[in-house]
Chain A
């Protein structure tokens, strides 16, 4: 399902300047079976987001082989990469909602890109917004929503098209405990329905509350993989 073999990542314009700019990821290997769930943990700057970017095809590795949903990422055409991205739901650490669209339209975006019909879109979007407790904020713009509400919109957008793979980067960062648990219920429900899930987080309380195999990353290296 998701398989990394000795994967290295080097940013072209490293944040830390100079000759000694280290690779963001070094020799990462792990495998997540279909329908699996993994916590991705590690200190800030360890490379969690970098690893997730490789999974959701937003970066190319400098070296190594990555298989996503049964396809070798390096070997697919641009078009197939786009179609593969549609099967991956992503919750970005910085949400990335479109400011000019309402909450409803932001969530509907992946379905519109996939050219689903508006009736289906309406049913799915309102249902998922109810799940994240925002059925009353359908028409609010992102700048009219709190950080936590924006985060829940971002989660709703990631899951609305029922992805085969869900990648969530710190999805509970702006949520209170109750909201965070509600969200984890949603994610585990999806996982039980067959979606493979990777969640990166600092929130060790959350990790403890929802036991699952962990990938631990430090200084760009995988120090622990279950």
Chain B
């Protein structure tokens, strides 16, 4: 009599037919992978915004013939460009690079001492763009002061970082989709094996007038429980690994996040608890479809 109430509730014997080992373990593995993929996607997004911002705000301004008089003829070109930059609120940290730095910058292309080649070295100013809008008008403005002045931004580099991030996120999305499909397949296989083990019982229950809704609902309830538990375990197991990866990535993420205990992107803290819920939904839906499909073979 010990098990009487339990057996009454579970007359399909699903506790045995849908055991509590293999399915949850496989779902836990899927959930673990999904957690890693999500963490990768979110972390790359965080780092990318940062790097992209850094790169995009970087300005390099080349002034040819820096000592020649400017358009007004009153001052050397480099000085008047520098003075103009200083008056602009959207430009910060402007600095004239020393001739040594400029030489070092171009030596990979022109050799150790470009001056020996008799090439006129341009004056180079580095600065940071802090304006909200892109620095499109900057080039023409400076050009008026000093013909031939070139403004280069980190936009190209930034767009490369953006492309890299997009491809990383596409990979993560692909992994998530594959993991979801594999999870659905695992659930379908487990459900089919449960159906096969209980074929006699289900056939009888069906003959006694059980509704498809009831039978499918019983399977789906059990599967939901198992996938929920499995995915929760997988997500929890992923936490230390994510913390470790977060610690590895910390130097790249900048000082702001080092304070974080786990050093995980905050969005992940919301996404992780979502994993078991999504897994349970996949489990429920797959079980429902599988059982209903199978029941169709009964009269």
CB neighbours (8 Å) of A79 from chain B are 211-213
Does chain A have a CB within 8 A of B7?
A: yes
Residue interface mask B200-218, A partner, CB < 8 A = 1 = 1100111111111110000
How far, in angstroms, from A87 to B209 measured CA to CA in the complex?
A: 8
Q: Within residues 84 to 106 of chain A, which ones have a CB less than 8 A from any CB in chain B? A: 84-87, 90, 96, 98, 100-102, 105
Q: Within residues 54 to 107 of chain B, which ones have a CB less than 8 A from any CB in chain A? A: none
How many A-B contacts if CB must be within 8 Å?
56
CB neighbours (8 Å) of A102 from chain B are 7
**Please, which residue of chain B has its CB at the minimum distance from the CB of A87?**
B209
- CB atoms of B209 and A110 under 8 A apart: yes
CB neighbours (8 Å) of A108 from chain B are 8
Which of B1, B204, B212, B213 interacts with A96 by CB under 8 Å? B204
How far, in angstroms, from A176 to B200 measured CA to CA in the complex?
A: 28
Of A55-63, A128-136, A216-224, the stretch lying at the interface with chain B is A55-63
Which of B1, B208, B210, B299 interacts with A60 by CB under 8 Å? B299
- CB atoms of A58 and B201 under 8 A apart: no
Q: Within residues 149 to 163 of chain A, which ones have a CB less than 8 A from any CB in chain B? A: none
How far, in angstroms, from A216 to B206 measured CA to CA in the complex?
A: 29
CB distance from A80 to the nearest CB of B (A): 10
Which of B13, B209, B299 interacts with A100 by CB under 8 Å? B13
CB distance from B3 to the nearest CB of A (A): 10
- CB atoms of B11 and A105 under 8 A apart: yes
Q: Within residues 169 to 204 of chain B, which ones have a CB less than 8 A from any CB in chain A? A: 200-201, 204
- CB atoms of A139 and B1 under 8 A apart: yes
How far, in angstroms, from A59 to B213 measured CA to CA in the complex?
A: 21
**Please, which residue of chain A has its CB at the minimum distance from the CB of B298?**
A58
- Knowing A60-B299, A100-B13 are in contact, say whether A109-B205 is a contact too (CB < 8 A): yes
- Knowing A100-B13, A109-B11, A112-B11 are in contact, say whether A59-B209 is a contact too (CB < 8 A): no
- CB atoms of A86 and B1 under 8 A apart: no
- Knowing A82-B211, A98-B11 are in contact, say whether A113-B205 is a contact too (CB < 8 A): yes
- CB atoms of A82 and B212 under 8 A apart: yes
How far, in angstroms, from A153 to B20 measured CA to CA in the complex?
A: 32
How far, in angstroms, from A184 to B295 measured CA to CA in the complex?
A: 35
Does chain B have a CB within 8 A of A83?
A: yes
CB distance from B154 to the nearest CB of A (A): 65
Given contacts A98-B204, A100-B7, 12 further A-B contacts (CB under 8 A): A57-B299, A59-B299, A82-B206, A85-B208, A87-B209, A98-B200, A101-B7, A105-B8, A113-B205, A113-B208, A113-B209, A139-B1
A-contacting residues of B (Cβ < 8 Å)?
1, 7-8, 11, 13, 200-201, 204-214, 299
Complex A-B: 17 CB contacts under 8 Å: A56-B207, A59-B299, A78-B212, A83-B209, A84-B209, A85-B209, A86-B208, A86-B209, A87-B209, A100-B7, A100-B13, A101-B11, A105-B7, A105-B8, A109-B11, A110-B209, A139-B1
